[in-house]
Amino acid sequence: MSDTPQGQELSESELRPISRRDFLSLAATWAAATALGLALTALMKFPMPALFPDTSKLFKIGKPEDYPVGAEKVFEERKVVVKRDSEGLYAISLICTHLGCVVSQQAKGFDCPCHGSKFDALGRVKAGPAPKPLPWLKVSQLSDGRLLVDAMKQVPAGTKYMISH
């Protein structure tokens, strides 16, 4: 049951049409709210930079026999790729040096989805805006033979860990 009596006539102020100023104000509010909603939706779809990296930066990557010459293994959660060539094993960070987005591996290198930086297979910048190459990370070996990557310790590009069998 309604609080207002049925059949009662509306007052003149209730019948007054909305003014042009009120209409424009309402339209502007709706336009701003719609623009904000669209912007937030677009932001959620954008690849997010790695602003809050894992706390555990030292991690095991397996044994030397897991990496024959030519092997390549991406550790997606760690944002690191480990590669082996005839000179040794090396780890490259997958975090773009521009604003920290995670790069994706391509046939001949890495592409950043955020602003278009491109890196070659060794992490060197081929196209900006990334200001620096992808960092190379320290690889070491435990006494039981298992290999480790320390994502907190950068090494000069080209530093490869010699695997002894």
Return residues touching ligand FES (CB under 6 A): 96, 98-101, 112, 114-117, 129-130
Nearer to ligand FES, 49 or 88 (CB): 49
Encoding tokens for residue 108?
């001949």
Smallest separation (angstroms) from ligand FES to the CB of 75: 19
Smallest separation (angstroms) from ligand FES to the CB of 61: 25
Distance CA 62, CA 93 (A): 17
Cα separation of the two ends of the chain: 86
Nearer to ligand FES, 50 or 157 (CB): 50
Smallest separation (angstroms) from ligand FES to the CB of 94: 11
- Tell me if 165 sits within 8 A of 150, measured CB to CB: no
Distance CA 72, CA 92 (A): 11
Smallest separation (angstroms) from ligand FES to the CB of 25: 39
Nearer to ligand FES, 64 or 100 (CB): 100
What letter would DSSP give residue 123? S
* Amino acid present at 85: D
- Tell me if 87 sits within 8 A of 69, measured CB to CB: no
